[in-house]
Amino acid sequence: MTLIIKNVTKQFEHAQEPTLADINLEIADGEFLCVVGKSGCGKSTLLNLIAGLETPTGGEILLNGKAVTGPGADRVVMFQEHALFPWRNVIENVKFGMEVAGVPKSQQEERALHYLRMVQMEAYRDYPIHQLSGGMRQRVALARALTLDTEILLMDEPFSALDKQTANRMRRELQEIWMKMNRTVFFITHSVEEAVYLADRVVVLSEKEKSIRDVIRIDLPRPRHVYDDVFVEYRHRILEEVQDGEE
């Protein structure tokens, strides 16, 4: 997998100025990349461009050398809100993505169970969605995303609607899953702590510049500890950059 974002600009119709200007970024195979930045700086827009849900107004995005022109089976998105179907139970929700992707029915059950086990939700396979907590719903959404075995997993603040304790647990488990599976992850968060915890590299998007302000490699072994001196140093440094010289 190679993902190259080349001179990408996005200006929405009727907008006074571009939301994103001249974004350049290469994502390595198997990398865990986190994007941080103030609310409204264009994080979701960047993710939507990679997902093919939005089209750049300039530049191009290349996935394995091919320009992204729309959504594709090589990418999957997981959003902050779980986007599960309330009329389907847990395992049926996990199977949904595979149904759309045309995975043979005979393989769906086994694959769904494999990933439900991975997110520790196998015991809830027949539960209706409304009986699950927020964290459990995001586990199901994660299992659904993982079953598609895509080149890249795009995650837009997947844990930010959860309480802190649940979010911390989810990020730890996501990291364990990522370490086992070696998938490429493009992860947006407004939490610098979450980014330093998870990322190989942290990209700071600047609202002022409408572009990438800095890319910081997190040179710490995993699992990381938020009270570790070096962790705290990274967090402070990146927080300052996110503030854009304000406050």
Ligand X SMILES: Nc1ncnc2c1ncn2[C@@H]1O[C@H](COP(=O)(O)OP(=O)(O)O)[C@@H](O)[C@H]1O
150 binds Mg ion (CB under 5 A): no
Stretch that binds ligand X, among 1-9, 40-48, 161-169, 229-237 (CB under 6 A): 40-48
42 binds ligand X (CB under 6 A): yes
CB 56 within 8 A of CB 105: no
Q: Between residues 16 and 182, which has the closer beta carbon with respect to ligand X?
A: 16
Q: Please tell me what DSSP assigns to residue 130.
A: G
41 binds ligand X (CB under 6 A): yes
Stretch that binds ligand X, among 35-43, 81-89, 163-171, 220-228 (CB under 6 A): 35-43
Q: Between residues 39 and 106, which has the closer beta carbon with respect to Mg ion?
A: 39
52 binds ligand X (CB under 6 A): no
Stretch that binds ligand X, among 21-29, 36-44, 176-184, 234-242 (CB under 6 A): 36-44
Determine which residue in the list 33, 45, 75, 121 makes contact with ligand X, applying CB under 6 A: 45
Report the C-alpha gap between 112 and 104 in whole angstroms.
12
CB 33 within 8 A of CB 14: no
Report the C-alpha gap between 34 and 12 in whole angstroms.
24
User: Given strand 75-78, what is the order of strands in its sheet?
Assistant: 75-78, 152-156, 184-188, 32-36, 201-206, 211-217
Report the C-alpha gap between 24 and 58 in whole angstroms.
12
CA nearest to 154, candidates 44, 61, 9? 44
Q: Residues binding ligand X: what is the number (CB under 6 A)?
A: 11
Kindly identify the residues of this chain, within the stretch 37-76, that bind Mg ion according to CB under 5 A: 43-44
169's tokens: 């647990």
Q: Which residues bind to ligand X, rule: CB under 6 A?
A: 12, 15, 19, 37, 39-45
Q: Which residues bind to Mg ion, rule: CB under 5 A?
A: 43-44
